[in-house]
Amino acid sequence: MSDQHNPAQPFQEEVQADIVNINQGGVGHVDAGSVSIRQGGAQTVASGSTDITQGGAFLVDAEHATMNHSGAAVVIAEEATVDNGTIGLLVGSKIDAKHSRIGLLLGGSVDGRPDIAVDARVAAIIGASAVVTLFILRRIFRP
């Protein structure tokens, strides 16, 4: 395994290295200790540290994830920092989000004031309401 990998092609299917830097390119899957993406993207990222600036990813699974002016469908991280980003689902223990939009947030401590569509409390209320509704409908329409 090399210490550093800079993709020369615009898109590579899979990259495994200690350090991965992607500039204006794309990767299918990245598995690395440290990943930096600038104006590029990845389908899935598994790393200790991920930093995405003006780019995106479908799934980010990292100890530390930083998203600057970027987007992701799913981010799972012990610590996540989001600045001017958009994330569909964010799961983390410590989250710092400023000027960002998050669809569903499941986290421990949240710093900043992100625009959250559904947080853990709302998700629990929606789930409980759905269970009660299905129970009642089953009782009403029992064969």
Handedness of CA 127, 73, 63, 54 (dihedral sign): negative
In terms of Cα–Cα distance, which of 5, 40, 44 is closest to 26? Answer: 40
Local confidence band at 1 (pLDDT 50, 70, 90 cut-offs): very low
Most confident of 64-78, 94-108, 110-124, 126-140: 64-78
- Domain span at residue 57? 4-140
Q: What SS3 class is residue 109? A: strand
CA 103 to chain centroid: 11
Sheet holding 4-5, edge to edge: 4-5, 11-23, 26-38, 41-53, 56-68, 71-83, 86-98, 101-111, 115-119
Tell me how many domains the chain contains: 1
DSSP 106: E
**Residue 104 near residue 118, CB atoms below 8 Å:** yes
Mean pLDDT of 121-127: 81
Per cent of the chain over pLDDT 90 is: 56
Q: What is the 3-state secondary structure (H, E, C) of 18-81?
A: EEEEEECCEEEEEEEEEEEEECCEEEEEEEEEEEEECCEEEEEEEEEEEEECCEEEEEEEEEEE
How much is the pLDDT for 68? 96
Q: 34: which strand partners?
A: 19, 49
How much is the pLDDT for 88? 92
Structure tokens given for 81:
């920092």
Instruction: Write the pLDDT tens digit of every residue in 27-70.
Output: 999 999 999 999 999 999 999 999 999 999 999 999 999 999 99
Amino acid sitting at position 118: V
